[in-house]
Structure 1
Amino acid sequence: MLVSKPVSDLRELRHETISVDFAVIGGGLAGVCAAVTAARQGLRVTLIQDRPVLGGNASSEVRLWALGATSHMGNNNRWAREGGLVDEILVENLYRNKEGNPLIFDTVLLDVVARESNIRLLLNTAVYEVRKSAPDTIAGVTAFCSQNATRYTVEAPLFCDASGDGIVGFQAGAAFRMGAERADEFGERFAPDEGYGELLGHTIYFYSKDTGKPVKFVAPDYALKDITEIPRFRAVNEREHGCKYWWIEYGGRLDTVHDTEAIKWELWKVVYGVWDHIKNSGEFPDAENMTLEWVGTIPGKRESRRFEGDIMLCQQDVIEQRVHADAVAVGGWSLDLHPSDAVYSEKSPCNQWHSKGAFGIPYRCYYSRNISNLFLAGRIISASHVAFGSTRVMLTSAHGGTAVGMAAAHCQRDALQPRDLTEPNRMSALQTALNRAGQSIPGIPLADDGDLVQSATVSTSSTCVLTELAADGPWLNLTYPVAQLIPLTPRDRPTVEFRVRAKQPSEIRVALRVSDKPENFTPERTLCEQVFSLVEGEQTIAFPITEGVDQNRYGFLTLDGNEAIKVACSEQRVTGLLTVQKKFNHAVSNTGEQVPPEGIGIDRFEFWVPERRPAGHNLAFKLSTPLKAFGIEQLRNGWFRPTTASNAWVATYEDENPRLELNWNAPQTLREIVLHFDADFDNAMETVQWGHPEHVAPFCIRDYVIRDANGKELHRCTDNHQTINRIRFDTPVCTRGLSIELKHPSDRVPAALFGLRVYGGA
């Protein structure tokens, strides 16, 4: 029992001082990825989060689905999902939570952090004070946890501000901006004018459900009485909830840091007014049995402060896909700006303009230009307001957070400051370390001299030589133009046969199209084409590729849209093969073609997008000469997803026991084996609400066995679902060879591997 006598002075709060290598403030996806990456590199990390769960806008408190370069699979960024730790989290969430339950996603993130013994996690703990040891150096931060009434002082040589509003950077004196730059500062022709506004607002979501019996709803007094006064009320319906109401937005004309509570109240007014209208206006009789299951209590915030690094990303970096020598992360979301009057605006709720492909984000955006030991992560990184429209989304933020965590490890190891890593050799080392972890930096393959596979003789039990995909699937009506994506080399000029059905005599145009940039998937140039006259009924058309590609790249074998024609599809799926259609995707302002207004510096081009599984079959086809697109040489080329080639070894369907053999001239001492599987980088894997048809990607190898040269089993895996498998031996293995026995994912999908790496060391 504790009995405390009265005191005349103030009592002191419990106080704890924590000294670590790296302090991360903010537990959204960016902060989580920064902290976990640094901890896995051996740093002692404190992760400070002012909320009871991790994830920020992706958490169960806000419930926004996390997205990035894949953009709901509604742009032309094929196989663009963020790699490394971001991919690991998304794939794990798919495995545990394909239905998109936000509470389960909370547990996925908490597990990822809790598994790292080097991380001290402080939840419900808000940083409120910064201490400096020099004008350009942070010495520590002070935070308070309301749940255990404890004040923490966290000291570290390196800090990362991933707090969203930049509480650490702001107090430390880091240069920042708030609002929109004028068009002439960076030459950004999409920069908004004063009438459009300078800031994006906040959003609060709600969930509803059908109870199976009538439910009454009495609106709170503060709810809006007539939402028909809101310009966007016309989008209200009883069938949607959650992120579908992203446009319930407010606050862009206010101070989005200090006015957040006032913004929250206005959003509550709108949300409860919307639900009152759905339930009680009489316009939605199907809502009689529905109840309001959940309403957010904190708003999802889009924009506040942006901090200045040694470079500020701008519109041209995104649209032109500018190459940066210090690229460390990938972007690919559209330039997505909203009118500041938001839900009360007569304007379109958003303006989304896409680039023709993904782009690299330079490392110089991820640290403060004037606070020497401060990293930046999340939506506060160094970008103009226009470029921020793309970089602000969560998976882009998380990918950058991974880069920050790895950079912190390199700084701590070599006693450096963040800016020091821009030296070319140090930057190359950082990029290599990130790619070893699976980051997949655009334009930068893994160049790793320590990989023993590079010196091994590699053989396989079989290699897929593509001659056909069987016509054993559904028939696709050519309501929209369709294209089969195939990887081509300059030597490939086969004749391609398709099986079609015509309701009546018709014509169809078949073409081979490619992108201007070989790494893109926006068909801009036609290399060859032919118009075929069809008779009524089923028939074969044979399209000769008369002009081949100039370098390795994907080609689009396109068939024009015609409602009177169907084309045969295949049930077979192969890593690196995909079908797309020229059609709309309203989730990302895609109406089939991007047609921007004149003078805003945006390209006009067509969208060719895939169908989500279980739809989206490959077209059935036959080739007069085979494509050798899946050879074993691709296992060690440094790419671990399709780019300008499939970058995968694929076994034949007929091979009952696919196997890889590695042999060296002399015995090798092995410490680690790394396998890169295909967890389908083209799937957006939205984290909440959306839902997915399977919990494991259909291309992913589930079962495999690794043996040494004498047949001794070194490792056996069953029920794998992750992209990267790392097998680390507590005791090094000495052997002249390895055998890796793989099992096909299914009878419709042959075994495939993007990469195989082996590392030695005693």
Structure 2
Amino acid sequence: MIQETYSKNRSLKEVSIETDLLIVGGGLSGTCAAITAARQGVKVVLVQDRPVLGGNASSEVRLWALGATSHMGNNNRWSRETGVTGEILEENLYRNKEGNALIFDTILIEKVKQEENITLLLNTSAFEVAHEGTQIQSVKAFNSQNSTLYKLSAKRYCDASGDGVLSFLAGASFRMGAETIEEFGEKMAPNVEQYGELLGHTIYFYTKDTGKPVNFTPPAYALKDIEELPRFKNIQADHTGCNYWWIEYGGRLDTIHDTEDIKYELWKVVYGIWNYIKNSGNFPEAENMTLEWVGTVPGKRESRRFEGLYMMKQQDIIKQNKFEDAIAHGGWALDLHPSDGVYSALPSCTQWHSKGTYQIPLRTAISRDIDNLYFAGRLVSVSHVAFGSTRVMLTSAVAAEGVAVSAAYSILNDVLPKETVEKEHITKIQQALLEKSSYIPHLKLDKSKYVSSKAKVSVSSELNLTELRTSENWKTLQMPSAQMLPITSDQKELSLRVPVNASEATTLEVTLKVSLDPTNFTPEKVIGLYSKEVKEGSQHVDLTFDVSELGDTYVFVCFAPNTAIQLNYSEDRITGILSVFRKENKAVSNFGEQKPPADIGIDGFEFWTPQRRPEGQNIAMQIKTPLFIGKKENLNSGIIRPVQSTNAWIADFEDNQPTLTLEWEEAKDISSIKLYFDADLDHAMESTQFGHPESVVPYCVESFRIKDENGKCIFQTETNHSTLCEISFDQPVKTSKLEVEFDRKNNSTPVSIFDFICN
């Protein structure tokens, strides 16, 4: 029993913690930064003011996490995020392919708690910063659940708090609102009076069919006259959760200090919309539906943006500018919303896409004022317009991983954050990121430092693609359809034989297109054009294109729509081989073609996008000029995804148990092995709400064995579901040979691997 008499001198319990890196903010960016830094060997304290991790991706808000793939609605092929971010998405797919936000919470907590170098403080709010000159000395934070006051001291600090509470209290320079067109020459800079300066908040809701009638009596504060909302026509009874992202409000207010007022207004709208759905009589299909969940925390889009050593602008994204200090990639559209949100008569969003992914420089994450402060998440150094793209969660998360590697390097090598952008340091940071499978456009992993680079490599087979085999699957050519194929600089022509089925005599039109930039996937230049007369019935059409001037690149074999023609679709799914279609995806302002006004600094082009599995089969065809897409030399590319080629070793279709062998002239001590499988990076692996057709990436090799020179098995698994498979041995294995035996999943997907490194 505890019993105390009156005292006027009581104080809170105080705990002091010293660490290497203090991260304030446990959204997806802060979480990925913490895990990444801990794995680099530094001690991390992660401070999160909520009871769960994940921020807008958590069960408190329930927004799906997304990034460069843009719901598979843009031309950014194979652009999904990897590294720790990808690891989390794959684990979520394995346990939670249905997209339950509660399960996603558990995965994030588990990932953090598994790292011995991380101290996690949930329900803990930073409220005071002690700083001397240009250095932060310590941070005070209060945990409302254990009534404890923390004093946290670190060598480096990272603000991933969204609103930037740490940076604000430290005195760092920031902006809040929109720049004018005159400041940076951004032609998308908004007309502030008409459009506003800030993106608002949103509260999401979930519904459920109970199987029996459910009544609903709205709270007194529910919004009346829902039909007067400019976005009234968007209301649908079968839309749940994030489909109502357009319930947005607060962009005309202070999106930090007015958040509670914004939340109440959003509740009014949500309950008013649900009352209309249930009680207007216009939605009889909603009779058995109940309101299962309404968010109590609004999803924030925009508040403060802090000034770093560089500020990204519209031009950096649209022109895909290159940076020597690049640490990550982005690819979401420049996505701005009118500040009046749900009450605005303007379109609910304005999304303009670039032709491909872009680089994000480290300098956007380093304070220009505070010597030991990094930024991560949506508060990094970008203009309001550029923020429209960089703000999305998976883009923020992979950039935060780059910040974490820089911070760890800064600590371990005793250099200031601003010094890490110098050539001698940034190259090492970039290589550390690439080794853990992060993607930085135009950069390659340097293989020379690995023991595996000195080995003689042999494989049991290599795929020389001669056909995409036919199946029973015929589809009418209702929309422009294309098969993407990689060609090499030594190829003179591309010769194809395509099976077609015509309901009547007609003309088949086929165009060969390429991107002007071979590292993009926006087909914009016509290389060849055929008009082939076809007769009624089944037949083959022969096509030959001159590709002698192209070099290493992907070509698009484009078939014009014709409802009298059917194409055959193959069951073969192969790394780096993909079909795309000129179709709409209104969720990301893709209407088949981007036609921007002439005065906003945006390019016009066609969208050619893939279909979600189980659709999206390749177009069946014979390739009479075979494509050597699976050669073992691809293992030396240093690129862990298709770009100008497949970049993968792919076994032959007839090879049911492929082997990869590394041999050295003398025995080596092997302590660790990394295998980089195909993560199917064109599939937008949304974290919640969107369901996915399988729990393991289709190209991931689940079963394989590694043997030494004596045939002894030193590692085996039948349950691998990670496309970056990392193996560490307690004691080094001394051997002059490593042989990896892979078990093939099915007859339509040959085994493939991007890289294999060991040390």
Q: Structure 1 length normalisation: TM-score? A: 0.99
Q: SS state of the match for residue 108, structure 2?
A: helix
> What amino acid sits opposite 1:429 in the alignment?
K
1:385-426 residue CA offsets vs partner (Å, 9 max, x unmatched): 000000000000000110111111101111111101011010
- Deviation of 1:473 (Å): 4.4
- Deviation of 1:530 (Å): 1.0
Moved more, 192-201 or 663-672: 663-672
1:439-487 residue CA offsets vs partner (Å, 9 max, x unmatched): 1111101114211222111111111110001111411221111111111
Q: Is the 8 A contact 1:436 1:446 kept in 2?
A: yes
Q: SS state of the match for residue 448, structure 2?
A: coil
- Deviation of 1:10 (Å): 3.5
- Deviation of 1:436 (Å): 0.7
Q: Aligned residue for 1:677?
A: 677
1:151-201 residue CA offsets vs partner (Å, 9 max, x unmatched): 111100100000000000001010100000001111100110121110000
Q: SS state of the match for residue 674, structure 2?
A: strand
- Deviation of 1:735 (Å): 0.9
- Deviation of 1:656 (Å): 2.4
- Deviation of 1:564 (Å): 1.6
> What amino acid sits opposite 1:653 in the alignment?
F
1:207-245 residue CA offsets vs partner (Å, 9 max, x unmatched): 001101110100000110121121111110100110000
Q: Aligned residue for 1:44?
A: 43
1:535-592 residue CA offsets vs partner (Å, 9 max, x unmatched): 1111110100223352211111111111221101101111110000011111211000
Q: In structure 1, how many angstroms separate the alpha carbons of the residues matched to 2:548 and 2:110?
A: 50
> What amino acid sits opposite 1:361 in the alignment?
I
Q: Aligned residue for 2:476?
A: 477
Q: Aligned residue for 2:165?
A: 167
Q: Aligned residue for 2:597?
A: 597
Q: SS state of the match for residue 734, structure 1?
A: strand
Q: In structure 1, how many angstroms separate the alpha carbons of the residues matched to 2:68 and 2:138?
A: 35
Q: Aligned residue for 1:554?
A: 554
1:684-722 residue CA offsets vs partner (Å, 9 max, x unmatched): 100000111111111111100001111111100111111
- Superposition map of 1:86-125 within 5 A: 86-125=85-124
- Deviation of 1:16 (Å): 0.3
Q: In structure 1, how many angstroms separate the alpha carbons of the residues matched to 2:689 and 2:325?
A: 36
Q: SS state of the match for residue 304, structure 1?
A: coil
> What amino acid sits opposite 1:449 in the alignment?
S
Q: Aligned residue for 2:235?
A: 236
Q: SS state of the match for residue 129, structure 1?
A: strand
Q: Aligned residue for 1:296?
A: 295
- Superposition map of 1:675-754 within 5 A: 675-754=675-754
Q: Is the 8 A contact 1:24 1:47 kept in 2?
A: yes
Q: Aligned residue for 2:575?
A: 575
Q: Aligned residue for 2:642?
A: 642
Q: Aligned residue for 1:138?
A: 136
> What amino acid sits opposite 1:29 in the alignment?
L
Q: Aligned residue for 2:266?
A: 267
Q: In structure 1, how many angstroms separate the alpha carbons of the residues matched to 2:371 and 2:426?
A: 17
Q: SS state of the match for residue 619, structure 1?
A: coil
Q: In structure 2, how many angstroms separate the alpha carbons of the residues matched to 1:361 and 1:267?
A: 33
> What amino acid sits opposite 1:168 in the alignment?
L
> Is the alpha carbon distance of 1:473 and 1:17 closer, same or farther for their aligned partners in structure 2, counting shifts above 3 Å?
farther
Q: Aligned residue for 2:325?
A: 326
> What amino acid sits opposite 1:457 in the alignment?
K
> What amino acid sits opposite 2:187 in the alignment?
R
Structure 1 stretches of at least 4 aligned residues deviating more than 6 Å after TM superposition: none
Q: In structure 1, how many angstroms separate the alpha carbons of the residues matched to 2:604 and 2:32?
A: 35
Q: In structure 1, how many angstroms separate the alpha carbons of the residues matched to 2:341 and 2:548?
A: 49
Q: In structure 2, how many angstroms separate the alpha carbons of the residues matched to 1:68 and 1:753?
A: 24
Q: In structure 2, how many angstroms separate the alpha carbons of the residues matched to 1:171 and 1:527?
A: 57
> What amino acid sits opposite 2:362 in the alignment?
Y
Q: In structure 1, how many angstroms separate the alpha carbons of the residues matched to 2:526 and 2:451?
A: 42
- Superposition map of 1:406-485 within 5 A: 406-485=405-484
Q: In structure 2, how many angstroms separate the alpha carbons of the residues matched to 1:675 and 1:396?
A: 24
> Is the alpha carbon distance of 1:549 and 1:468 closer, same or farther for their aligned partners in structure 2, counting shifts above 3 Å?
farther
Q: SS state of the match for residue 157, structure 1?
A: strand
Q: In structure 2, how many angstroms separate the alpha carbons of the residues matched to 1:746 and 1:420?
A: 50
Q: Name structure 1 gaps, 5 residues minimum.
A: none
1:369 aligns with 2:381: no
Q: In structure 2, how many angstroms separate the alpha carbons of the residues matched to 1:391 and 1:192?
A: 17
Q: Aligned residue for 2:513?
A: 513
> What amino acid sits opposite 1:120 in the alignment?
T
Q: In structure 1, how many angstroms separate the alpha carbons of the residues matched to 2:102 and 2:684?
A: 20
RMSD in angstroms over aligned alpha carbons?
Answer: 0.9
Q: SS state of the match for residue 618, structure 1?
A: coil
Q: Is the 8 A contact 2:490 2:551 kept in 1?
A: no
Aligned residues: 757
1:247-279 residue CA offsets vs partner (Å, 9 max, x unmatched): 000000000010000000000000000000000
1:657 aligns with 2:657: yes
Q: Structure 2 length normalisation: TM-score? A: 0.99
- Deviation of 1:510 (Å): 1.2
> Is the alpha carbon distance of 1:473 and 1:173 closer, same or farther for their aligned partners in structure 2, counting shifts above 3 Å?
farther
Q: In structure 1, how many angstroms separate the alpha carbons of the residues matched to 2:367 and 2:478?
A: 51
- Superposition map of 1:174-323 within 5 A: 174-194=172-192, 195-323=194-322
1:497 aligns with 2:497: yes
Q: Is the 8 A contact 1:446 1:638 kept in 2?
A: yes
Moved more, 547-556 or 344-353: 547-556
1:482-521 residue CA offsets vs partner (Å, 9 max, x unmatched): 1111111123323101111112111121122100111100
Q: Is the 8 A contact 1:636 1:756 kept in 2?
A: no
Q: Is the 8 A contact 2:481 2:580 kept in 1?
A: yes
Q: In structure 2, how many angstroms separate the alpha carbons of the residues matched to 1:652 and 1:681?
A: 22
Q: SS state of the match for residue 542, structure 1?
A: strand
Q: Is the 8 A contact 2:708 2:739 kept in 1?
A: yes
Q: In structure 1, how many angstroms separate the alpha carbons of the residues matched to 2:678 and 2:546?
A: 32
Q: In structure 2, how many angstroms separate the alpha carbons of the residues matched to 1:456 and 1:266?
A: 65
> Is the alpha carbon distance of 1:549 and 1:33 closer, same or farther for their aligned partners in structure 2, counting shifts above 3 Å?
farther
Q: Aligned residue for 1:630?
A: 630
Q: In structure 2, how many angstroms separate the alpha carbons of the residues matched to 1:460 and 1:580?
A: 31
Q: In structure 1, how many angstroms separate the alpha carbons of the residues matched to 2:436 and 2:753?
A: 16
The structure 2 residue matched to 1:156, chosen from 154, 157, 170, is 154
- Superposition map of 1:381-392 within 5 A: 381-392=380-391
- Deviation of 1:285 (Å): 0.6
Q: In structure 2, how many angstroms separate the alpha carbons of the residues matched to 1:185 and 1:449?
A: 45
Q: In structure 2, how many angstroms separate the alpha carbons of the residues matched to 1:81 and 1:210?
A: 33
Q: Is the 8 A contact 1:527 1:548 kept in 2?
A: no
Q: Aligned residue for 2:613?
A: 613
> What amino acid sits opposite 2:202 in the alignment?
T
> What amino acid sits opposite 2:162 in the alignment?
G
> What amino acid sits opposite 2:309 in the alignment?
D
Q: SS state of the match for residue 213, structure 2?
A: coil
Q: In structure 1, how many angstroms separate the alpha carbons of the residues matched to 2:242 and 2:126?
A: 29
Q: Aligned residue for 1:585?
A: 585
Q: In structure 2, how many angstroms separate the alpha carbons of the residues matched to 1:494 and 1:65?
A: 41
Q: Is the 8 A contact 2:447 2:453 kept in 1?
A: no
Q: In structure 1, how many angstroms separate the alpha carbons of the residues matched to 2:548 and 2:221?
A: 66
> What amino acid sits opposite 1:640 in the alignment?
I
Q: In structure 2, how many angstroms separate the alpha carbons of the residues matched to 1:232 and 1:486?
A: 42
| Percentage of identical aligned residues | 52
Q: In structure 1, how many angstroms separate the alpha carbons of the residues matched to 2:658 and 2:696?
A: 20
